[in-house]
Chains A and B, each alone.
Chain A
Amino acid sequence: MKSPTFAYERPQSLAEALALLAQKGADARPLAGGQSLIPMLALRLARPSVLVDLGRVEGLDELTLQDGVLVIGAMVRQRQLERNALVAEHLPLLVAATKVVGHPAIRNRGTLGGSLAHADPSAEYPAVALALDAEFVIQGPRGERVIPAQEFFLGPFTTALATDELLTSIRFPIPPTHSGWGMAEVARRHSDFALAGAVALLARADDGTCARAAIALFGVATRPLRATQAEQALVGRPFTTETFREVATLATESIDEPLSDVHGSAAYRRQLVPVVVRRALEEAAQRAAAR
């Protein structure tokens, strides 16, 4: 369980980090918190020849509110998100999601950007980013590009990032105040990866019906997904248990490539989907009502 050998670089600036990635080619790998990459090295699932440690790169760990958008640097530690006052005020969903990402010792090192770039299909943050229509700011030798969450996650552990690019920040639009959020997951132990999970955001119209719905699933397919059929079926309907029950069953229709592994079969995970979706919707509806 020891890693194979690799070289180690510790750039101080983004330009320096990008130059290293460009120069070392596909064998180089950025190192953020290391909470996924170091186990992969130990298990020899990854064999980069150079690690480019982002730990000292300036400007990647900022967290600011800009015109209704929370801009979070890729290197912001998960533990910081859990405790940041701006996040608590404007994006409590992100705090709730963070609390179930691994254990405190993992979150002390793990970063937001590392989790998103790692793109584990069972991870919480990718689904949160999808539900919130977050935008991913990417820097590379060809300059900056900004892509929507929908286009970032391509498959298991696969994203739209090229090997010479870095995710530098994530832009989370703050949901309108009259909306509510909910999150539910089923996992074997507290903080384990989910066997099925759902994130929901609901906006209520003046007549009490659903004005807008966003539902994202994780742990059930090879990448996080929006449950589009379920979302569409919910708009215009009243917030009742019957509606949620009915709509939740539709969520399984979005699963194109089901996830199946030793922790849970595809059939089992599929069975959990309506349960977690209904729970997330009920929680979101309560919060939308409480405002």
Chain B
Amino acid sequence: MERVPITVTVNGQTVSAEVEPRMTLADFLRDELGLTGTKLGCEHGVCGSCTVLWDGAAVRSCLVLAAQADGAAITTIEGLATEGQLHPVQQAFWEAHALQCGFCTPGMILTAVALLSEDANPSEQAIREALSGNLCRCTGYQNIVRAVQLAAERLRSSS
């Protein structure tokens, strides 16, 4: 099968590669770039654990072909911390006990980052709606919502 040449910016670094057409962005990130922070739960778009940012907007990396991502800027969970400092949303997840096994966490955090970039002061309802596409089998969601509220508060006061 003919490979497709792509150039993608991942966490600020430009990467060029030749990919098989059927390779998803998720598999490209995990298997080709070794960025295994992006998790694959269902691989057909229902669990949200593979969520990454595409030009700042949340997308499911199992529902995008790597070939389609040519020219895009992708941010994965590995790209959030700066100079060893956790991103405020990561920090809030830690402090608010918003994770147990952690499998859903990268997707939850990136979904929350996308939400807060558009709405600095989301209501609890808005947070729940934004996260409604991300499944967590452990936490019961309460602390995840609290973590997003905590992060929102801190981001507002720091800006």
A interface with B by C-beta (< 8 Å): 1-8, 10, 31, 34-35, 38-39, 41-43, 51, 53, 55, 79, 102-106, 108-109, 189-191
Q: What chain A residues lie within 8 Å of B106 (beta carbons)?
A: none
Contact of A103 with B133 at beta-carbon distance under 8 Å, contacts A34-B65, A42-B43, A53-B67 already known? yes
Closest Cβ of chain B: how far from A167's Cβ, in Å?
19
Please tell me if the beta carbons of A8 and B45 are within 8 angstroms of each other in the complex. no
Q: How many residues of chain B have a CB within 8 Å of chain A?
A: 33
Which of B54-62, B78-86, B143-151 contacts its partner? B54-62
Residue in A1, A35, A51, A53 whose beta carbon sits within 8 Å of that of B42 in the complex: A1
Closest Cβ of chain B: how far from A97's Cβ, in Å?
15
24 residue pairs from A and B, CB less than 8 Å apart: A1-B44, A2-B22, A5-B20, A6-B1, A8-B2, A8-B65, A34-B65, A34-B68, A35-B45, A35-B60, A39-B63, A42-B44, A51-B65, A53-B68, A104-B111, A104-B133, A105-B59, A105-B111, A105-B114, A106-B133, A108-B54, A108-B57, A189-B132, A190-B132
Q: What chain B residues lie within 8 Å of A55 (beta carbons)?
A: 68
Q: What chain B residues lie within 8 Å of A41 (beta carbons)?
A: 22
Q: What chain A residues lie within 8 Å of B24 (beta carbons)?
A: 3, 38
Closest Cβ of chain A: how far from B2's Cβ, in Å?
6
Closest Cβ of chain B: how far from A287's Cβ, in Å?
23
When chains A and B are docked, how far (Å) is the Cα of A1 from the Cα of B68? 19
Interface positions of B from 120 to 142, Cβ below 8 Å from A? 128-130, 132-133
Q: What chain B residues lie within 8 Å of A2 (beta carbons)?
A: 22, 27, 43
Q: What chain B residues lie within 8 Å of A8 (beta carbons)?
A: 2, 4, 21, 65, 67
Please tell me if the beta carbons of B51 and A105 are within 8 angstroms of each other in the complex. yes
